[in-house]
């Protein structure tokens, strides 16, 4: 018998629950609503034209990524703290970082497309942008470390320490980029973007943040459970292999 036959065919081993199904439906409706408002109902911007619509995916995406990294940091601390040590915290941290990297990637791409249309350039060495890029690479590294192998608790401790190191590094990187950037004023194209926003546009942006947050919770629950199943496969797979070997010998 192999590990896969032991884990498949068990209908209770799924990642969905009535709650996540309901949440998934609400999220889907929210995404449709957001797309409708973002693409058709809201007006084009006076200065930015139609490209302003990118913002309804870009800003919530960036928000989601930051939220995900904060959750990764908190769950990592929860894992390291003796009283709350549980692999569930580790899986939440890992799942959250995966979602964060995905959405940070999306908001970097949408941001540079918007920048090209609005400022005429894909990238500027603005402190916030540069820190965001570093954040992205840092968590790509974090995910690489999670896949190094070893026991579950080894993986959990290593990645939790790394996540807390990232919490320390990011402000330092941001501060130094800001210092560096203050010498290069000519590079800041992002001058006056603080314009007053139309009420409907503001509402759509707000809607985007809520929809993306729901999407985050939905993805996190599923991914965290999928990771738990993955760990289970690793554990039972080894046990089954040992049992099979013993049966062979004995």
Partner 1 sequence: MRSGTLAVARAIARRDLLVEWRSRVVTNQVIPFAVLVMVMFAFALDSDAVLERVAPGLVWLATIFSVLFLTARSFAVETADGALDAMRSAGVNPVAIFLGKSVAVAVQLLVLDVALVVAAVVLYRADVSLGGGVLLVTTILVATTGLASVATLYGGLAAGTKGRETLLPLLLLPVVAPVLIGATRATESAFGTNGIAVSEGWPWLGLLAVFAVLFSVVGAVAFGPLVDE
Which long-range contacts link 160-167 to residues 24+ away (Cβ below 8 Å)?
160/76, 160/77, 160/79, 160/80, 160/90, 160/93, 161/76, 161/80, 163/72, 163/73, 163/76, 163/93, 163/97, 164/73, 164/76, 164/77, 164/80, 166/69, 166/73, 166/138, 166/139, 166/142, 167/73
Residue 87 vs 164, nearer CB to partner 1: 164
What's the distance, Cα to Cα, between the start and end of the chain in Å? Answer: 16
Residues 87 and 231 sit within 8 Å (Cβ to Cβ): yes
Return the H-helix or E-strand segment holding 142: helix 127-146
86 binds partner 1 (CB under 8 A): no
CB of 160 to partner 1, least distance (A): 8
Interacting residues with partner 1 between 96 and 155 (CB under 8 A): 134, 137-138, 140-141, 144-145, 148-149, 154
**Binding-site size, partner 1 (CB under 8 A):** 27
For residues 4 and 23, give the distance between their C-alpha atoms in angstroms, rounded to a whole number: 29
Cβ distance 37 to 231 under 8 Å? no
Distance, CA of 92 to chain centre: 11
Task: Write down the least CB distance from residue 205 to partner 1, Å.
Answer: 30
Nearer to partner 1, 35 or 152 (CB): 152
Q: How near is the Cβ of 142 to partner 1 at its closest, in Å? A: 9
Which residue lies nearer to partner 1 by CB, 182 or 193?
Answer: 182
Interface with partner 1 in residues 148-187 (CB under 8 A): 148-149, 154, 157-158, 161-162, 164-165, 168-169, 172-173, 175-177, 179-180, 183
* Minimal distance, residue 85 CB to partner 1, in Å: 12
Within 23-82, which residues bind partner 1 (CB under 8 A)?
A: 80
Question: Phi and psi at residue 45, in whole multiples of 5°?
Answer: -75, 150
Query: Is there binding between residue 200 and partner 1 (CB under 8 A)?
Result: no
**CB nearer to partner 1: pick between 147 and 196:** 147
Applying CB under 8 A, does 22 fall inside the site for partner 1?
no
CB of 210 to partner 1, least distance (A): 31
Residues linked to residue 45 through DSSP beta bridges, in sequence order: 49
**Strand residue runs (E) in the chain:** none
Map residue 76 onto helix, strand or coil.
Answer: helix
**Residues near partner 1, by CB under 8 A:** 80, 134, 137-138, 140-141, 144-145, 148-149, 154, 157-158, 161-162, 164-165, 168-169, 172-173, 175-177, 179-180, 183
């Amino acid at each position: 018998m192999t590990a896969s036959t032991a884990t498949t065919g068990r209908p209770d081993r799924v990642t969905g629950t009535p709650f996540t199904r309901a949440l998934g439906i609400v999220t889907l409706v929210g995404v449709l609503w957001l797309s409708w408002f973002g693409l058709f109902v809201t007006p084009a911007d006076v200065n930015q034209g139609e490209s302003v619509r990118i913002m309804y995916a870009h800003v919530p995406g960036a928000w989601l990524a930051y939220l995900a990294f904060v959750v990764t940091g908190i769950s990592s601390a929860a894992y390291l703290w003796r009283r709350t040590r549980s692999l569930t915290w580790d899986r939440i941290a890992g799942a959250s970082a995966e979602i964060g990297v995905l959405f940070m990637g999306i908001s970097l791409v949408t941001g540079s497309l918007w920048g090209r249309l609005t400022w005429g350039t894909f990238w500027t060495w603005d402190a916030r942008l540069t820190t965001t890029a570093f954040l992205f690479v840092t968590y790509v590294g974090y995910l690489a470390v999670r896949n190094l192998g070893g026991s579950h608790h080894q993986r959990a401790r290593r990645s939790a320490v790394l996540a807390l190191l990232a919490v320390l590094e990011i402000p330092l990187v941001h501060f130094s980029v800001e210092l560096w950037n203050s010498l290069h004023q000519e590079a800041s194209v992002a001058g006056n973007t603080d314009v007053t926003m139309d009420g409907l546009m503001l509402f759509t942006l707000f809607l985007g943040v809520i929809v993306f947050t729901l999407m985050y919770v939905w993805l996190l629950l599923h991914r965290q459970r999928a990771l738990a199943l993955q760990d289970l496969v690793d554990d039972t797979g080894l046990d089954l292999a040992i049992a099979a070997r013993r049966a062979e010998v004995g």
